[in-house]
């Protein structure tokens, strides 16, 4: 007999689409994968790998890496110490740990709708229900009227909408969270992929009193295969989160931690980001241009200022799940917006990834897409 | 407001002891750490690391590694295919995933008492209660009389007792599990550390119909810092476990997977095990000799035929938690047996690790221990 939570562990449509998207010849706008040519590939022969890392490590993560992560967060305006940093096996793990900390049957989470699909899946697994913000971007009145235990949001180049909250929006929301005493979980994996100027300071940096967890990732800026992310938490939460990490897998991979610490220390991370930004910016501009050419009368969208996705609102009602299947038959993988939404009123929306395909594939893919949309 | 499960997330005594044990000058029999000189240190400069591993990977794990793990299990007598293998971020993660699959409020788990402390912690976090076997080794009548949803056990060089079930015991237990239709979770991280001949085939290899999960680790034979383990599951369970893995952290570290796949493929794993066995055997024999010399009138124990631990039953009632603290003041870290037990009737027991210290430290440590025991 399975635990009840397993009934909520739905077959993941995303997994199926991503699997299908990897078939040869398929153009994929479906996933959130970095382009192969932008991946950071460490020169392992020249790395300094201390012999000590082959032994068991501490659950919190390597001290040097925690210091470097804290330093980087401080530069963004987030006051924190290395003691508040927990190194993760990718930032997906942070969602699992925060769900264990706060989520259970009968409680609800205030989130943007649409929002990151795999976060919704984890929170549901732990019994949570959702309150959706009225608009795609969360507003102070959403917080004021909410009965949720905590709020999950992605204020910077949101997945899937690409939206980025202004400083004013962040300050106003932070005040609302403090006033309501509603803890905040800010997921921030796309911040460094900023194509038109740096993103505003993290929302949690404006909080005065309420508890918070902030998390980031090295998957988008270095390489997903390193499986390293981190969270930074309010001092009252870090002990419980560290114990949860210990229970989950003792500690994160020490080889990857040693590599990333060196990449951060040497300044290579920022240098690498400088090399990938023009590549992504060109792809974004190319997709925007092609969408304008082929889809201006069929959909509306905002040109994203960062991140990995376009979010399309189709002008005419259409079953986007059916469109997704029809696309696959024509060798094009896209994501329906429906699974990202916590309500049924998602409209006809699509999420298009522009980072993984090359310029030629982007052109061919948008052309095929135009043929699929009513 | 935390989730209710956080109330069950006790401050881990083990964490505190292990932290104290790392202070300079402390002789540690407390942890379960391999000796530094036995750790496998891959020559990264000479490894073939495919560029593809820096991209996102599949939740199941790398196909080559899954094949190699299945092959190794087949050689032990466990019939399985690569499709039944899930690569883990260390085998602690398997406990988290199986707990998510089967454990919830109001159910109970049949386990050995004493048993692996960090497994108890995870199961409790998910709301489980425990039924303990009547003796340290589980017997068919424990299964027959049990109302538990599933059974967790460590039949091979058990942690903490070092006990190893005979083939006859395994067959009889497997029949009892099949008769009761009680699923089995076999934790098997110590199998390859066999000092007096190979261990019998896994218990789950004798099951005929009931569902099962079997797991192993590369932490004891290669290096904990690689953070790689695996589970092999009954075909009906693997889809749910893979989805749980995806929700937990998307996939395991691909660099470590590439390294371990090469180490398995080249035969280096078995060669490495051959080099570490004499080291561990010598340490075990040394500790056994010293215990016989200094503690024969104060305690009883079985000389373990594998694994990492001696399990001492003290002749005289004594508060072993107080003994543990007194030991630390004298620069000796040992583990009280009490936290490993699911019942209060644990007697006065101690777990002593013999793998981490050198021969001189083992001698000095046993001498100090003799002074601490009534």
- The predicted-structure confidence for B315-358, as pLDDT tens digits, reads as follows 999 999 899 999 999 999 999 999 999 887 668 999 999 999 99
Task: Give the pLDDT band (50/70/90) at residue A263.
Answer: very high
* Separation between Cα atoms, residue A251 and residue A60, nearest integer Å: 7
Asked if the C-beta of B48 comes within 8 angstroms of chain A's C-beta atoms, the answer is no
Rg (CA), chain A: 20
> Which of A45, A149, A253 lies closest to B227 in CB terms?
A253
Q: What is the DSSP letter of B203?
A: G
Above 70 in pLDDT, residue A142? yes
Residue B329: name the closest of B2, B76, B20, B4 by CA.
B20
B246 with A118: Cβ contact below 8 A: yes
Give the residue on B whose Cα is nearest the Cα of A103.
Answer: B3
* Separation between Cα atoms, residue B357 and residue B365, nearest integer Å: 9
* Separation between Cα atoms, residue A97 and residue A241, nearest integer Å: 6
For the stretch A225-259, pLDDT in tens is: 999 999 999 999 999 999 999 999 999 999 999 99
Sheet holding B229-233, edge to edge: B85-88, B229-233, B212-217, B184-187, B150-153, B108-111, B129-132
Residue A338: name the closest of A325, A327, A351 by CA.
A351
* Separation between Cα atoms, residue B196 and residue A83, nearest integer Å: 45
**Across all residues in chain A, what is the average pLDDT?**
95
Above 70 in pLDDT, residue A346? no
B122 with A247: Cβ contact below 8 A: yes
Nearby residues of A132 by Cβ (< 8 Å), 6 or more positions away: A111, A112, A113, A341, A342, A343
Sheet holding A299-300, edge to edge: A299-300, A309-314, A349-353, A335-336
3-state helix, strand and coil shares in percent for chain B, rounded to the nearest 5: 45, 15, 40
* Separation between Cα atoms, residue A236 and residue A247, nearest integer Å: 19
- Contact list, B251 vs chain A (CB under 8 Å): 227
- Contact list, B240 vs chain A (CB under 8 Å): 2, 6, 9
Q: Is A261 helix (H, G, I), strand (E, B) or coil?
A: helix
A310-321: average pLDDT? 94
Name the pTM for this structure.
Answer: 0.97
Nearby residues of B317 by Cβ (< 8 Å), 6 or more positions away: B347, B348
| Residue A114: φ, ψ to 5° | -75, 160
Residue A31's pLDDT is 87
Chain B: nearest CA to A121, how far in angstroms? 7
For the stretch A37-79, pLDDT in tens is: 899 999 998 888 999 999 999 999 999 999 999 999 999 999 9
Asked if the C-beta of A92 comes within 8 angstroms of chain B's C-beta atoms, the answer is yes
Residue A170: name the closest of A183, A181, A154, A189 by CA.
A154
* Separation between Cα atoms, residue B118 and residue A295, nearest integer Å: 56
Q: Are B310 and B293 in contact (CB under 8 A)?
A: no
Above 80 in pLDDT, residue B21? no
Weakest mean pLDDT among A261-265, A337-341, B196-200:
A337-341
- Contact list, A89 vs chain B (CB under 8 Å): 89, 227, 249, 252-253
* Separation between Cα atoms, residue A354 and residue B52, nearest integer Å: 20
A87-101: average pLDDT? 98
Give the residue on B whose Cα is nearest the Cα of A254.
Answer: B225
Q: Is B367 helix (H, G, I), strand (E, B) or coil?
A: helix
Chain A, 158 to 177: residues with Cβ < 8 Å from chain B are none
Q: Is B265 helix (H, G, I), strand (E, B) or coil?
A: helix
A121 with B247: Cβ contact below 8 A: yes
Q: Is B213 helix (H, G, I), strand (E, B) or coil?
A: strand
For the stretch B100-119, pLDDT in tens is: 999 999 999 999 999 999 99
Cα atoms in the Cβ-side hemisphere of radius 13 Å centred on B144: 7
Classify residue A96 as exposed, middle or buried by CB count within 10 Å of its CB (0-12, 13-18, 19+): buried
Q: Is B153 helix (H, G, I), strand (E, B) or coil?
A: strand
For the stretch B53-80, pLDDT in tens is: 999 999 999 999 999 999 999 999 999 9
Strands (E), A295-373: 299-300, 309-314, 332-333, 335-336, 349-353
* Separation between Cα atoms, residue A30 and residue A332, nearest integer Å: 9
Residue B330's pLDDT is 93
> Which of A12, A121, A255 lies closest to B256 in CB terms?
A255
- Contact list, B41 vs chain A (CB under 8 Å): 51, 54
* Separation between Cα atoms, residue B227 and residue A245, nearest integer Å: 13
Q: Is B241 helix (H, G, I), strand (E, B) or coil?
A: helix
Residue A12's pLDDT is 67
For the stretch A106-139, pLDDT in tens is: 999 999 999 999 999 999 999 999 999 999 999 9
In chain B, the percentage of residues whose pLDDT exceeds 90 is 89
A56 with B104: Cβ contact below 8 A: no
Chain A, 24 to 43: residues with Cβ < 8 Å from chain B are 31, 33-34, 36, 39-41
Q: How crowded is residue A361: how many other Cβ atoms within 10 Å of its Cβ?
A: 16
Task: Give the pLDDT band (50/70/90) at residue B374.
Answer: confident
Mutate to test the interface with B, among A86, A91, A245, A255 (most CBs of B within 10 A): A255
B225 with A254: Cβ contact below 8 A: yes
A103 with B4: Cβ contact below 8 A: no
Q: Are B68 and B261 in contact (CB under 8 A)?
A: yes
* Separation between Cα atoms, residue B108 and residue A44, nearest integer Å: 47
Asked if the C-beta of A13 comes within 8 angstroms of chain B's C-beta atoms, the answer is no
User: What ipTM does this complex have?
Assistant: 0.96
A15 with B246: Cβ contact below 8 A: yes
Residue B145: name the closest of B113, B108, B114, B101 by CA.
B108
Q: Are B109 and B150 in contact (CB under 8 A)?
A: yes
Residue A162: name the closest of A304, A329, A347 by CA.
A304
Q: How crowded is residue B177: how many other Cβ atoms within 10 Å of its Cβ?
A: 29
Residue A112's pLDDT is 97
Residue B12's pLDDT is 67
* Separation between Cα atoms, residue B165 and residue B177, nearest integer Å: 15
* Separation between Cα atoms, residue B252 and residue B263, nearest integer Å: 17
Is the bond preceding A114 in cis, omega lying within 30 degrees of 0? yes
- Contact list, A88 vs chain B (CB under 8 Å): 249
* Separation between Cα atoms, residue A195 and residue A206, nearest integer Å: 24
Nearby residues of A344 by Cβ (< 8 Å), 6 or more positions away: none
Question: Which whole-number Å values give the CA distances from B137 to B152, B197, B311, in the listed order?
Answer: 12, 20, 13
Residue B23's pLDDT is 82
* Separation between Cα atoms, residue A89 and residue A99, nearest integer Å: 16
A100 with B223: Cβ contact below 8 A: no
* Exposure class string for B63-79: b at 16+ Cβ within 10 A, else e: ebbbbbbbebbeebebe
Residue B17's pLDDT is 74
A9 with B248: Cβ contact below 8 A: no
Asked if the C-beta of A14 comes within 8 angstroms of chain B's C-beta atoms, the answer is no
Chain B, 200 to 239: residues with Cβ < 8 Å from chain A are 219, 223-227
Give the residue on A whose Cα is nearest the Cα of B61.
Answer: A225
Q: What is the DSSP string of A245-311?
A: HHHHHSS--HHHHHHHHHHHHTTHHHHHHHHHHHHHHHHHHHHHHHHHHHHTTTEE-PPPSBSSEEE
Residue A74's pLDDT is 98
Mutate to test the interface with A, among B56, B60, B252 (most CBs of A within 10 A): B56
Classify residue A131 as exposed, middle or buried by CB count within 10 Å of its CB (0-12, 13-18, 19+): middle
In chain B, the percentage of residues whose pLDDT exceeds 70 is 98
- Count of A–B CB contacts within 8 Å? 199
Residue B124's pLDDT is 95
Asked if the C-beta of B293 comes within 8 angstroms of chain A's C-beta atoms, the answer is no
A249 with B92: Cβ contact below 8 A: yes
Q: Are A256 and A40 in contact (CB under 8 A)?
A: no
Is the bond preceding A160 in cis, omega lying within 30 degrees of 0? yes
| B353 beta partners | B309
Q: Are strands A85-88 and A212-217 parallel, antiparallel or unpaired?
A: unpaired
**Across all residues in chain B, what is the average pLDDT?**
95
- Contact list, B90 vs chain A (CB under 8 Å): 249-250
* Separation between Cα atoms, residue B359 and residue A326, nearest integer Å: 68
| A311 beta partners | A351
Above 90 in pLDDT, residue A280? yes
């Amino acid at each position: 007999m399975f635990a009840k939570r397993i009934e909520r562990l739905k077959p993941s449509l995303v997994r199926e689409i991503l699997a299908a998207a990897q078939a040869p010849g398929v153009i994929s706008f479906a996933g959130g994968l970095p382009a192969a040519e932008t991946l950071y590939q460490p020169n392992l022969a020249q790395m300094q790998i201390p012999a000590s890392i082959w032994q068991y490590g501490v659950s919190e993560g390597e001290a040097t890496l925690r210091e470097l992560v804290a330093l980087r967060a401080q530069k963004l305006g987030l006051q924190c110490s290395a003691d508040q940093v927990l190194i993760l096996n990718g930032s997906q793990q942070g969602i699992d740990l925060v769900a264990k900390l706060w989520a259970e049957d009968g409680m609800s989470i205030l989130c943007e709708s649409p929002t990151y699909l795999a976060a919704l899946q984890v929170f549901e697994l732990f019994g949570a229900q959702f309150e959706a913000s009225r608009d795609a971007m969360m507003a102070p009145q959403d917080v004021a009227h909410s009965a949720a235990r905590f709020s999950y949001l992605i204020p910077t180049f949101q997945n899937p909408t690409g939206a980025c909250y202004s400083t004013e929006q962040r300050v106003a929301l932070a005040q609302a969270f403090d006033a309501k005493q509603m803890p905040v979980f800010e997921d921030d994996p796309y911040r460094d992929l900023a194509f038109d100027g740096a993103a505003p300071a993290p929302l949690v940096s404006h909080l005065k009193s309420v508890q918070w967890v902030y998390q980031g990732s090295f998957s988008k800026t270095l390489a997903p295969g390193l499986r390293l992310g981190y969270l930074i938490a309010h001092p009252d939460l870090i002990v419980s989160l560290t114990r949860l990490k210990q229970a989950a897998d003792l500690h994160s991979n020490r080889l990857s931690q040693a590599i990333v610490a060196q990449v951060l220390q040497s300044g290579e991370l920022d240098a690498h980001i400088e090399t990938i930004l023009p590549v992504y910016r060109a792809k974004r501009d190319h997709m925007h241009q092609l969408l304008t050419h082929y889809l201006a009368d069929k959909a509306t969208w905002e040109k994203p200022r960062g991140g990995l996705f376009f979010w399309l609102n189709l002008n005419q009602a259409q079953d986007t799940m059916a469109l997704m299947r029809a696309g696959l038959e024509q060798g094009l993988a896209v994501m329906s917006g429906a699974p990202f939404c916590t309500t049924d009123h998602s409209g006809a929306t699509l999420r298009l990834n522009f980072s993984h395909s090359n310029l030629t594939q982007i052109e061919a893919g948008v052309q095929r897409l135009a043929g699929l949309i009513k």
